[in-house]
Structure 1
């Protein structure tokens, strides 16, 4: 049997690429006014820390960022809390942290995330906190997923709270099969009830995919359940949500969904940027895997493919900006995010918005230029 920690698969490349591109903006923004510029990261299912191939797991990725953030001109102290239940995996994690975590603020806890979270959340009270819940195979119970928000205050002036949750698509499909099976196990269905927060997911699935359903119906059922799960999480947390599909191969069904919860619009725009950068890294990894030892595996072929994607996104954003400006009112892109991004939603990032905006400024559609940082929150107005 292959060890899960032997090498990083494409789906893991994506989630770690998203983290890699999100931690910096999260720590930079939320740590600006936090006590001692401290920011907390809780990894509830930390794993071994590093794959046997040498690739980073989330703990090593976090430790690298903690070291980088501490050395910045305006430093941030990223405090890492790693939880792992499996004793053998935890022992390897201890070794990795001992080897690579010298001088950093790191705490290790062995046990289940649900049992450890109350204590950890108490320890980081008053600090911005990002909680990563990424179990292997099993899914996070609903009560555990919303715990970071329920345990921490909301409202103006309170420390930011965000979570990134792995919702396993393969497990959902397997358990949903029991809904129409004559050999169904109620105890298996109850496990998904605990993840969803109620048994309502059963009716949602069956409304879209009754007995004898087609592949398209089952895919629609999966989307409906994941969307409603994310919506209910966000309602309980008092947050906004974003979920993205994660694949091992383009064209395959998702391996899992990453559900992101935040109480601030800046969190959404920063996550969108990180997701776009993460998807680019994922596409590059797939390109190298699928074109190894072929004439199409060189960097120029990948760049040409990326350029074509980017041009299509810019054209889409430009057209949508024109439609929005035709209404005659100034607006911020962040307030009309989905309308402006359109088909580029979840793919494009700020540089694509900037290029589209420049076109509008160049032809006089708007007199507002595209200079400055955080273009998503800048007001654009019709000329």
Structure 2
């Protein structure tokens, strides 16, 4: 008979101290992927020890990449080069990692061998047609279940060609899958977005030595280059920091300092919304870490008020909406949100779940 677990919560006079938040999940995924495809040995510090990121690391281990974990939050990856991956001896399980599956689809579309990507029950309900369609335009052959759902059967030996893409949905995962397939495609691969999304992949490709041009809402790369091993220091995850930003804002008497938080402008939409609500959050010690902008964030408690969330910030805070609901519930007045259909097709319907909560 299993023991029951009880949680007891009591009011506090304030949250105080300095914190180091775990590493960014999106960057941890990409660091493993590009390090595996690079020539040489890469060290990744600040790697997020989560099920999703470990699933991505296991995927590349299954394809012949030696990955060492000398300590927690650290990985040493012995890259095999762009064409050094080997066929796994069975389906590759992405767990619950939508980022892992979609980005892997781009990489595996250019391999000489067939691959099957599977996931858990939740991931198996998430749409993949938005990745399959642009990759097919490049020459990839990917079969999926009805409705474009996993598992994905990716055919090897396809000759990919560059193309110009204008995805109808703003998605960093779709853009990244296209760019990663572009490493194997002949000619130029271009992506133009209806709304700018996170540029983690672009920044990291540049850090690993692949020539790439990119700006707000667009990216372009050519074939014929190589990825070179490099050391990556993963910034603290903004989504994880967001819970402490909100907690310190709504608990009277609080003051927290969060170290080395990733400040990618395509990720920090919540920061802008909290400030519109009256939050007292200051940025200190700006610097670059792992090719990404980071800063220390000092947050003090403040009286929040409801706002109409600007749609221009929605795409830059797609993972932070659950904690925004908490801030809105504690704020004085009404907060209105629109323009967030992407939240309906995450690992759950986040809008419905948060409304119910």
TM-score (norm 2): 0.33
Structure with the higher helix share, 1 or 2: 1
Structure with the higher strand share, 1 or 2: 2
Higher alpha-carbon Rg: 1
